[in-house]
Chain A
Amino acid sequence: MAAAQAGDQRAYARLLTASVALIRSVARRQGVPVDTLDDVVQETLLTVHRVRHTFDPTRSYDAWLSAIAARRAIDVLRSHGRREHREVHDEWAFDTHPDRDDASVGAERAQEARRLRDAIRTLPPGQREAVEQLGLKEQSLAEAAQHTGRNTGALKVNLHRALKTLRDRLHGES
């Protein structure tokens, strides 16, 4: 480690590789489950890298590393504990919390939108224009009047007629 503190990359890589076994054994002693041992190793290696200047070469490297590994093992255990506490178990979640909208609802909504679009396409030109400008593009009456060259009264009448036609057509179909 003294060589690593001086910047020797090869010595550092060798040291970290040799440290993995000790980190794992410390984590196991702390009660970390086997499937999360690698998390502790990763966290410990990152911490070792960050605080490598705190190592005193006159003292034991193993004691220094073990203390960091034990701390990181506790951190990992705590974070896993929190996550398990917060998240519900999958099977239980599927049984008791079904999606409010399942896949068929989405499909149905898409179908309805298509039917509406088809119905609008079949409207007489004046009525279609009124729906497109006022309903779909959300223009004001004045803007729509300017855009189409019709007066606002005619647009209003056309929109009302269009809505009535659509209502009849869609309800009549379903």
Chain B
Amino acid sequence: MSEAAHHEALIDALGAELTPVRRLPPPWRRALGWLLVVVVTAAVLLVRHGATTMMHRWEVAPDLGVAAAGAVITAITAALTSFVLAVPGRTLKWAWLPVPSALVWIAASGMGCLRAHIPGMPVMNIHGADDCLIFIISFSVPLSALMIWLLRRACPLHPALTAIMVGLASAAASASLLEIFHNFDASASDLLMHLLAIAIVIGANSLMGGRLLSRAFVSAPRRG
């Protein structure tokens, strides 16, 4: 153990200042906490707007229902992946978990554009699509901020990848919430705006969130 002898002084110093720490709860429990906030928001929106419009769209155009389910599953899996990747020693293969549902979400939304127009639903114009963009981004910002705050005690060894997952989870959750009072038929401009919003949210997260998360790794709080 002569190699360890070089580091005896450091080991002694670290041992001397050892204090008991509060263990990080398992990733699934922390993901559940974040999803709970999303569910409460969804409940508030449902109470205010009712479910009739949403149900009408899904009945007439089941592909929109599939897209919504894809978004919900993506939000759940990406949230779980964010918390898992923020713990050292977990395999990076976790990053693939939200990919299938994200593909279903995007593909089903794209299919919506090819389908015949839903009777009784206004077709999206650019102005309406702007609202979607603003909604997704304005909901994603607090959701991303909340998750980055929840990750403050974690140790993401791959901050950029973790931040991308945070962005995907937030964007998917916002798109799911938007579904509740989305009074438009799916159109190309709608899909484009959704994709743009998701890209902006993920891009901003990987830039800013990655930096925030890597700072957390460099100087993670000592207190438990």
Residues of A within 8 A of B114 (CB): none
Residues of A within 8 A of B90 (CB): 67
**What mask results when residues 90 to 118 of chain A are scored 1 for a CB within 8 Å of chain B, else 0?**
00000000000000000000000000000
B88 touches A45 (CB 8 A): no
Q: Which of A8-22 contact B (CB under 8 A)?
A: 8-10, 12-13, 16-18, 20-21
**B150 to A: closest C-beta gap in Å:** 13
B11 touches A51 (CB 8 A): no
A52 nearest CB neighbor, chain B only: B21
Residues of B within 8 A of A67 (CB): 88-90, 157
Partner of B10, one of A6, A7, A42, A50: A42
B219 nearest CB neighbor, chain A only: A50
Known A17-B1, A45-B11; contact A5-B157, beta-carbon cutoff 8 A: no
Give the interface size bracket for B toward A: 20 to 34
A17 touches B219 (CB 8 A): no
A45 touches B7 (CB 8 A): yes
Known A17-B4, A38-B6, A68-B157; contact A54-B15, beta-carbon cutoff 8 A: no
| A53 interface residue (CB < 8 Å to B) | yes
B89 touches A66 (CB 8 A): yes
A8, B220: Cα distance in complex, Å: 21
Partner of A71, one of B8, B10, B157: B157
**A46 to B: closest C-beta gap in Å:** 8
A37 nearest CB neighbor, chain B only: B3
**B107 to A: closest C-beta gap in Å:** 34
| B87 interface residue (CB < 8 Å to A) | yes
A49 touches B89 (CB 8 A): no
Residues of A within 8 A of B19 (CB): 7
Most buried by A among B19, B23, B26, B219: B23
Partner of B88, one of A9, A17, A18, A54: A54
Q: Which of B1-60 contact A (CB under 8 A)?
A: 1, 3-4, 6-8, 10-12, 14-16, 18-24, 26
| B78 interface residue (CB < 8 Å to A) | no
A53 touches B88 (CB 8 A): no
Binding site for B on A (CB under 8 A): 4-10, 12-13, 16-18, 20-21, 24, 38, 41-42, 45-47, 49-57, 59-60, 63-68, 71
